[in-house]
């Protein structure tokens, strides 16, 4: 007699590992695993891009404003050109240097605001995907839960008997899908909110810095006219 045929439901249930449950629920667990890889890559990429930006914005703003207030527009332009690749503030201010003294402060602010919005859009990058995953992952996990329960009841109908051992595999598969969906959603939501707050703070720094830059430029132009 084949020993596997005589295996009890209890022994079959206890032989199932987490990996087996993940494989059995591939229609839900594999997409969730792919989502976890995607959001992890987005988080690492955004964290790398945003490293030290707050300090660079303050540093570039202070340096440029000091040069402009002293009437040294050329020095401010050189400073900004040197920081173009590392600071969003430099990319916002640099195009304005050539317009100082030839354009009104309101027009400079309007042009600078467009540049600032471009930089904020670049900072946001693909973080919208984090919000999408945070909203959809729990429902994908819930889908796995429902399917796992359906499979459990189907197994009971096929075997013609009930009991925990009969439905253990299906219930375990459902719970694994639920847990994985919640884990991915929580991780995505935490970092989505973190990046939203951090980008909002950087946006505020750029807005305040832009106002200071335009004021310093106006003051420097007045010094140059004396």
User: What's the burial of 92, exposed, middle or buried (CB within 10 Å: 0-12/13-18/19+)?
Assistant: buried
List, for residues 17-56, the tens digit of each pLDDT value: 667 666 766 778 888 899 999 999 999 999 999 999 999 9
**CB neighbour class for 34 (10 Å; exposed up to 12, middle 13-18, buried from 19):** exposed
pLDDT over threshold 80, residue 224: no
CB burial of 206-226 (b: ≥16 within 10 Å; e: otherwise) equals bbebbebbbebbbebbeeeee
């Amino acid at each position: 007699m084949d020993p596997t045929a005589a295996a009890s439901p209890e022994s079959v249930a206890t032989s199932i590992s987490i990996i087996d449950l993940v494989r059995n629920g591939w229609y839900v667990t594999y997409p969730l695993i792919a989502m976890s890889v995607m959001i992890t890559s987005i988080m690492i990429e955004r964290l790398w891009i945003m490293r030290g930006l707050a300090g660079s914005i303050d540093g570039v703003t202070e340096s440029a404003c000091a040069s402009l207030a002293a009437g040294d527009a050329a020095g401010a332009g050189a400073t900004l050109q040197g920081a173009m690749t590392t600071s969003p503030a430099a990319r916002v201010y640099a195009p304005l240097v050539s317009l100082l003294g030839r354009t009104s402060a309101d027009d400079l602010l309007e042009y600078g605001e467009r540049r600032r919005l471009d930089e904020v859009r670049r900072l946001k990058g693909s973080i919208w995907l984090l919000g999408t995953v945070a909203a959809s992952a729990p429902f994908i996990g819930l889908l796995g839960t429902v399917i796992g329960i359906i499979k459990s009841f189907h197994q009971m109908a096929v075997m013609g008997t009930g009991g925990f051992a009969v439905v253990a595999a299906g219930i375990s598969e459902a719970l694994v899908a639920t847990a994985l969906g919640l884990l991915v959603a929580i991780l995505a939501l935490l970092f989505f909110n973190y990046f939203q707050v951090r980008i909002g703070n950087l946006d505020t720094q750029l807005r305040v810095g832009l106002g200071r830059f335009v004021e310093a430029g106006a003051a420097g132009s007045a010094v140059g006219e004396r």
